[in-house]
Structure 1
Amino acid sequence: MRFIHAADIHLDSPLHGLAAYADAPAEMLRSASREAFTKLVDIAVEEAVDFMVIAGDLYDGTWRDYNTGIFFCREMGRLRRAGIPVYVLFGNHDAESEMTTQLQLPDNVHTFSTRKPQTFRIDNLKVALHGHSFKEKAVTTNLVTAYPAPIEGYFNIGVLHTALEGSSMHATYAPCSIAELHAKQYHYWALGHVHEYAIWQEASTIVFPGNLQGRNIRETGRRGAVIVSVSETEEVSVERLFVDVLRWESVMVDASQAGTLDEVALAVGRALEVLVEEAASSVPHAVRVTITGATHAHGALFGLETQLRAEVLAQIAAISHDRLWLEKVKIATEPLAHSEPASGRVDALADLHGLLIEAESDPEFLEMLKERLLALALQAPAELHKSVPELEHVRNGDLAKLVSEVRSGLIAQLADAE
């Protein structure tokens, strides 16, 4: 017996902030969740799996475009014609969606009750699926305690949308422990909510398949679902299915050997070329580049994020423009030790350096700076925030960090000029 376990599909999840990126592949980003889901259905039909489980967050909150639900019904119709039933548990985002309660789904789609745990039996396979859908977004109680005992002689699957011991990256909905899941004595737990793949195999096989398609730079790497095979002796094997159509990656570039902005751009180009060459598939990549290291170029990069982005875009155009999109270039370099004025030095540069260090801990100066810059930061368009990332420190009230970053870059730049 084989089945597909997917979760956190977030169909047609709205993508915010794209207006800030004139070169963003907006249509590709908007359609990515649909294309990934269609690929998953393709696999289900081609592999003739026995059923599919969706462990929550099929939809994405209060998103009200009914074309999203109609698309889902169309894909379920494909599975219906292939004789594949689908078992859907609603998660926290589904609980907010009007489509969850108003759209009539094809008869091969079975949804778990929001009132109490419900069990579906597939008698010809001797499979029992137990699940409890979210009735409202913020379910903070442990739902596992009310799940029924396993059915004797059946392969028991628990379907649950949970933070599982409070994953720090996700809201702590329906919290429970791994020990509690094992103690339930189900053969398999099909989990959702946490967007990273994870598996535990002891008394039970417990799996987070991760989300189907990465939606932003916080969701890097390959994404998809899992296909689960169960032998006649109830041995469970889990294989990952990668169906994402756009992949987010974070690339760290060490600029310690670079001395100029141009040399940094070339180092980025080499790193991106390696990324494309080593990619397991031809899936396009959305990339955030972070420049790190103590470098002679620290001063040369000061305040030039926009120019560096243009230089990196030129590198991408030469490498593989159809397979790479630059989400952001982030400068996180440090000055070389000798860029800081030497101890005991007496000149204008040393005086400036000392004044800026004092300013970092001067509450009156920081308050004055905040008053003068806050209106600018709040009213600045997205394009300006993109080219002047220091404005985020103003909005957050972290003026000491702003002064520290300006001091570091400015002093390094002046020292280089000297």
Structure 2
Amino acid sequence: MKFIHAADIHLDSPLTGLCAYPDAPAQMLRSATRDAFTNLINEAIELQVDFLVIAGDLYDGGWKDHNTGIYFCREMGRLKKAGIDVYVTLGNHDAESEMTRKLILPDNVHIFESRKAQTFVLDDLKVALHGRSFKDAATTENLAQTYPDPVPGMFNIGVLHTALGVQSTHANYAPCTIDELYAKGYQYWALGHVHEYQIWQGASTIVFPGNLQGRHIRETGPRGAVLVTADEGGVQKVERLLVDVLRWHSVSVDATGCGSMEDVVHAINKELGAVVDGTPSNMPSAVRITITGKTPAHGELFGMEAQLRAEVLASAAAIGSERIWIEKVKTSTTASDDTDAIRSRGDALADLQELLEEAQTDPEFLASLKDDLMALVSKAPLELQNAVPYFRDIRSGDLAGLVSEIRPGLVSQLARME
């Protein structure tokens, strides 16, 4: 017996973080969650699975129009022709209270009710599926406690949308514990809500398949569902089915050994090449690059994010616009510690360094600097004022840290320019 367990599909939820860039794959960003779901249905039909389980958050919330539901019905119709039934719990995003629009679904789709736990028995497969949907988005009741005892002689599956009580990055909906799930006596728990793949194998097999398609930079790496193979002895195999159509990567580039921006760009090129080499040839990648390290290039990089991004975009374009997109380039470097070397020079640059060191604790200078910078801040757009941490420091007058941060890079860059 084989079935697919999926969760957190979030149909028609847009991918975020790339839309503002002219080089972004706009059509793919709009259709990625649908394309990944279509890939899942293709896999179910090709593998001839016995059924499909969706453990919550099929939808991202109420539909803007009926097109989302029409698309889902079309894909379910494909499964019906293949003789595959679908069992769905509603999660916090598509709870009954959230869905203001509905359509009559094909009769191979079975939605677990929300008033109490419900069981579907598949006599021919000797399978019993137990589940309960969310009535309200913010469901904090321990739903697992309301699930029935296992059906004797059956392969029992619990379908549950839950934070499992240990997932700090996700809202603690329908909390329960791993030990509680083991104690229930089911052979398999099909969970949803947590977007990362996780598996526990003890008294029963407990699985979060993760979401079907990464939607932003916090959801990096391969995404998909799981294929479960079972027999009279229980779960025999759990395999990941990767169906995502665009993959997110967060890449850290160590610039410690780089002496210039050009060296940094070469280091980035190497990392981008590794991303492409490690990703399927038909799979585009969205990449965030963070440059770290104590480097002589810090002064050249400081304040040059626009130029650096242009350089990286050019590198990505050379690789191929169908393979890689740059989500963001972040600079988190620090200057090389050459303070003593500059001080020993005894020239104008050494004098400037000393003045800047003294400025960090000079109240009169810091007050004057705040007045000058506030003239700039007051003209900046509101979204920029909220986005740039330095602007908050300027408004509060807390400028000692800003001067301290700028000094090494500024002096280092002036030394390089001589």
Task: Report the Cα offset of residue 266 of structure 1.
Answer: 1.4
Aligned residue runs from structure 1 range 260-409, under 5 A:
260-339=260-339, 347-356=351-360, 375-376=378-379, 379-380=382-383, 391-394=388-391, 402=402, 404-409=404-409
Give the 3-state SS of the residue equivalent to 2:36 in structure 1.
helix
Return 92-101 or 157-166, whichever deviates more. 92-101
- Within 1, Cα distance between the matches of 2:212 and 2:116? 27
Task: Report the Cα offset of residue 103 of structure 1.
Answer: 1.8
**Is 1:377–1:394's contact at 8 Å kept on the other side of the alignment?**
no
Task: Report the Cα offset of residue 114 of structure 1.
Answer: 1.3
Unaligned 5+ residue runs, structure 1? Answer: none
1:171 correspondence with 2:174: no
Give the 3-state SS of the residue equivalent to 1:334 in structure 2.
strand
Residues 43-85 of structure 1 show CA distances to partners (whole Å, capped at 9, x for unaligned) of: 1001110000000111112442321111111000100111100
Matched residue type, 1:305? E
Residues 22-63 of structure 1 show CA distances to partners (whole Å, capped at 9, x for unaligned) of: 211111111111111001000100111000000011111244
**Is 2:338–2:412's contact at 8 Å kept on the other side of the alignment?**
no
**Is 1:213–1:246's contact at 8 Å kept on the other side of the alignment?**
yes
1:34 correspondence with 2:34: yes
Task: Report the Cα offset of residue 287 of structure 1.
Answer: 0.4
Give the 3-state SS of the residue equivalent to 1:12 in structure 2.
coil
**Is 1:63–1:97's contact at 8 Å kept on the other side of the alignment?**
no
2:21 aligned partner: 21
- Within 1, Cα distance between the matches of 2:4 and 2:100? 21
TM-score scaled to structure 1, two decimals? 0.90
Residues 178-214 of structure 1 show CA distances to partners (whole Å, capped at 9, x for unaligned) of: 1111111110000000000000000010000000000
1:231 aligned partner: 231
Give the 3-state SS of the residue equivalent to 2:356 in structure 1.
helix
Q: Once superposed, what is the RMSD of the aligned Cα atoms?
A: 2.7
TM-score scaled to structure 2, two decimals? 0.90
- Within 2, Cα distance between the matches of 1:331 and 1:393? 15
Give the 3-state SS of the residue equivalent to 2:300 in structure 1.
helix
Are residues 241 and 15 of structure 1, via their aligned partners in 2, closer, same or farther at CA, if it must alter by over 3 Å?
closer
- Within 2, Cα distance between the matches of 1:100 and 1:198? 32
Are residues 200 and 100 of structure 1, via their aligned partners in 2, closer, same or farther at CA, if it must alter by over 3 Å?
farther
- Within 1, Cα distance between the matches of 2:23 and 2:266? 21
Unaligned 5+ residue runs, structure 2? Answer: none
2:214 aligned partner: 214
Are residues 240 and 98 of structure 1, via their aligned partners in 2, closer, same or farther at CA, if it must alter by over 3 Å?
same
- Percent identical: 59
Give the 3-state SS of the residue equivalent to 2:95 in structure 1.
helix
Query: Would you say how many aligned residue pairs link Structure 1 and Structure 2?
Result: 410
Task: Report the Cα offset of residue 131 of structure 1.
Answer: 0.8
**Is 2:357–2:404's contact at 8 Å kept on the other side of the alignment?**
no
